[in-house]
Amino acid sequence: MGAAEAARLDRLAELIAGSPHNLVARADRAVVRSTHIEEGVALAGLLDADPASRWLDLGTGGGLPGLVLAVVHPEVRWTLLDATRKKVAAVAAFAAELGLDNVHVVAGRAETMAREEDFRGAFDGVVTRALAPLAVAAELARGFLRPGGLLAVVKGPAWRAEVAAAGHALRLLRLDAPAAADIGDAERPAWLVTMRALGEAPRAYPRRDGVPRSRPLDRR
């Protein structure tokens, strides 16, 4: 990574930590650079993000990991989506200050946006972090993926249990068997769980607002 990229990431850490919108937990503000940003850098090294591809950061929150990924992969087009408008406004301001012209920030719910013409099946990859259990995250993300697109979910030490519990959901959603890689450079234990979209997303998914969380597909 060059000096310009490192300086951008330093500034991003300052912006997130200093935001009045509680973009990270209060206890994490002092370690945004060493924990959250570095996890995003390590994640960027694992992602199969081809130049000129289009990726979505689903549930971006304070811009993590999407803004970090946009710095490290400037040739990729990044859409950052979150349902909380004040967070979206903050992230858009961060992207503008950092000069990230490869970033588009959008406010909206995944259940709604995944059925919009400009978003349905429009992305080569979807990345998500700290969004929901795997079965829920997969349902919320699936409609955005083109056939063969990659779903990349950042998980903690319980990832194996989540993968096991999500088997039924992944089959319904037409996602292939998950693979996992240790995000080894991260300060806290984290794994990247990935799976490919097998054809088009099933028309029934995602279900209407709130249903994926209240009635997860892993419950039969």
pLDDT digits (tens, 9 = 90+) for 79-97: 999 999 999 999 999 999 9
> Quick one: pLDDT at residue 161?
95
Task: Say what the pLDDT of residue 185 is.
Answer: 65
pLDDT tens digit sequence for 154-172: 999 999 999 999 999 999 9
Q: Which two tokens stand for residue 133?
A: 């259990």
Q: Token pair for residue 14?
A: 């300052």
Give the model's confidence band at 22: pLDDT under 50 very low, under 70 low, under 90 confident, else very high.
confident
What per-residue confidence (pLDDT) applies to 173?
A: 98
Render pLDDT for 100-152 as a digit per residue (tens, 0 to 9). Answer: 999 999 999 999 999 999 999 999 999 999 889 999 999 999 999 999 999 99
List Cα–Cα distances, 199 to 17, 51, 142, 148, 169, in angstroms: 40, 22, 11, 7, 16
Q: What is the pLDDT of residues 63-73, one digit of tens each?
A: 999 999 999 99
Domain map of the chain by residue range? 3-214
Q: What are the angstrom distances between the C-alpha of 200 and each of 175, 196, 212, 215?
A: 10, 11, 19, 23
Do strands 103-107 and 77-82 pair parallel, antiparallel, or not at all (unpaired)? parallel
Reduced to 3 states (helix: H, G, I; strand: E, B; else coil), residue 149 is strand
- Predicted confidence at residue 130, as pLDDT, reads 82
Q: What is the pLDDT of residue 220?
A: 58
Sheet holding 179-182, edge to edge: 103-107, 77-82, 54-58, 123-129, 145-155, 191-196, 179-182
Tell me the pTM: 0.94
Counting beta carbons within 10 angstroms of the beta carbon of residue 13, is it exposed (0 to 12), middle (13 to 18) or buried (19 or more)?
buried
Q: How confident is the model at residue 34 (pLDDT cuts 50, 70, 90)?
A: confident
Q: How far is CA 195 from the centre of its chain?
A: 14
Q: What percent of the chain has pLDDT over 90?
A: 82
Q: Do the beta carbons of residue 179 and residue 193 sit within 8 Å? A: yes
Separation between Cα atoms, residue 38 and residue 190, nearest integer Å: 12
The pLDDT value given to residue 13: 93
Per-residue pLDDT, 186: 62
Q: Which of the four CATH numbers 3.30.530.20, 1.10.10.10, 3.30.420.40, 3.40.50.150 does domain 3-214 have?
A: 3.40.50.150
